[in-house]
Amino acid sequence: MAMFLMFGDGTFSPQLSNYLLSGPLIPYGLPCVRELFRFLVSLTNPVDRNNTDVMIHMGLSLLTVALESGADHLADFNSLCTLVRDDLCKNMIFVSMEQWFNRLS
């Protein structure tokens, strides 16, 4: 398997990636998916003053992609369902309030 390394001057050099071929691939697993999902949900919180309108819109867009691609399997994981039921629903209610809705549309 060939990969390219980029140097500081912007040039690329092909390198043989022996270290990538040396062992089995290990998936990231549920803890990583849960943390990523938790982060995306936190981006949609309009009450958090650190989240700008652009960040909220980006979080909603990324959550849309995550839910479209993994909705069939979401119910299999209680920790992800809890995030959707509690935090995401609460944030969606806040976002849907008229003052937030007008700013995001």
Domain residue extents for the chain:
30-104
How crowded is the C-beta side of 56, counted as CA atoms within 13 Å?
21
pLDDT at 26: 67
Radius of gyration of the chain (CA): 19
DSSP conformation letters of the chain = -EEEEEPTTS-EEEEE-HHHHSS------HHHHHHHHHHHHHHT-TTSTT--HHHHHHHHHHHHHHHHHHHHHHTT-HHHHHHIIIIIHHHHHHHHSHHHHHHH-
pLDDT of the residue at 6: 46
Question: Is there a contact between 58 and 43 (Cβ–Cβ < 8 Å)?
Answer: yes
pLDDT for the residue 16: 42
pTM exceeds 0.85 for this model: no
- Residue by residue, pLDDT tens for the chain (105 residues) are 444 444 445 454 455 444 455 566 667 788 888 999 999 999 999 889 899 989 999 999 999 999 999 888 888 999 999 999 999 999 999 888 856 556 666
